[in-house]
Amino acid sequence: MNTPLKSMMMAVLAAVTLGAPSMAETPLESLETADANRGWEAVGRLNFGPDGFCTASLITSDVVLTAAHCLYDAATGERIDPSKIEFQPGLRNGRAEAYRGVRRIVVHPEYDFSDSTRLSRVGSDLALLELDQPVRLGHVRPFRTQVRVEAGQVVQVVSYGQDRADAPSHESACEILARDNEILVLSCEVDFGSSGAPIFIRYGDETRIISVVSAKAQWEGQDVSLAAVMEGQLDALIGEFARTPAIGAVGKRLAIDGAVDTSASR
């Protein structure tokens, strides 16, 4: 779908580069200590052996949300073997809260990594990974999701990145600059490894995920980050999860239905 925002963006984007490094100084706070990282332990690094990493976050004890493009080999276009992926929640200075393998990858049914128009992939750049074992630690609390946001709202991001791969960093206040039915344009800083990083908003007395970092771009002369609008898209992804059980396993219902509040912030 070629929405008005997408048409405008295609006219003014200088580049869309997935996980490209930011040259600007960033207002990032390193979460190197246990105190600083308290409450963010469910955000972790998603490692692909020696080939790199992305950021991801727990939304249930055994399901992780990240960006779909992270799960493809850029050189071959092939899906990465789940056995080569490890999720390390709360990784700080060489030690994680847990170490989990991945038994299943489910990408959004409309996502097409082979589509050369990178901007058109952003709106479905979402994936779920089922871990080989749940992370059941009282202080590692999966995040709920909240899917309706508007331009002008303040959000925050927790991510790993190039030159800050050993501990997560927190950007406490960036802004949704624009949105349509598919894409969010945000002022948040991103870097290599930030792909898949959860974008949060305060909702009542809790922090919820509204999307994940998909790409970096230039928009109207400033560095921006791009993300999928999750309302509706998350439901499609959950449906795909239910339809594609792991080999030898019975499909399971992803029990986050009650965590999705489509009325919030309308």
* Of 53, 220, 234, 242, residue with least CA distance to 126: 234
3-state SS class at 6: helix
* pLDDT tens per residue across span 31-41: 999 999 999 99
pLDDT of residue 211: 97
Tell which residue, 264, 194, 189, has the closest CA to residue 230: 264
pTM of the model: 0.86
> Rounded to an integer, what distance in angstroms lies between the CA atom of residue 135 and that of residue 60?
9
Distance of CA 155 to the CA centre of its chain: 14
Q: Are strands 164-179 and 183-186 parallel, antiparallel or unpaired?
A: antiparallel
Encode pLDDT of 6-23 as tens digits: 555 554 444 444 443 333
Residue 86 token pair:
């490890």
263 Cβ contact partners less than 8 Å away, ≥ 6 residues apart: 148
Q: Model confidence over 77-92: pLDDT tens digits?
A: 999 999 999 999 999 9
The CATH topology of domain 4-244 is: Thrombin, subunit H (2.40.10)
Give the integer Cα–Cα distance in Å for 232 and 181. Answer: 9
Written as one string, the DSSP assignment of 95-109 is B-S--EEEEEEEE-T
pLDDT of residue 9: 56
Mean pLDDT score, 82-109: 96
pLDDT attached to residue 119: 82
Domain boundaries, the chain: 4-244
Q: In this structure, are residues 126 and 233 in contact, taking their beta carbons and an 8 Å threshold? A: yes
CA–CA dist 184, 190 (Å, integer): 14
Tokens representing 219? 């928009």
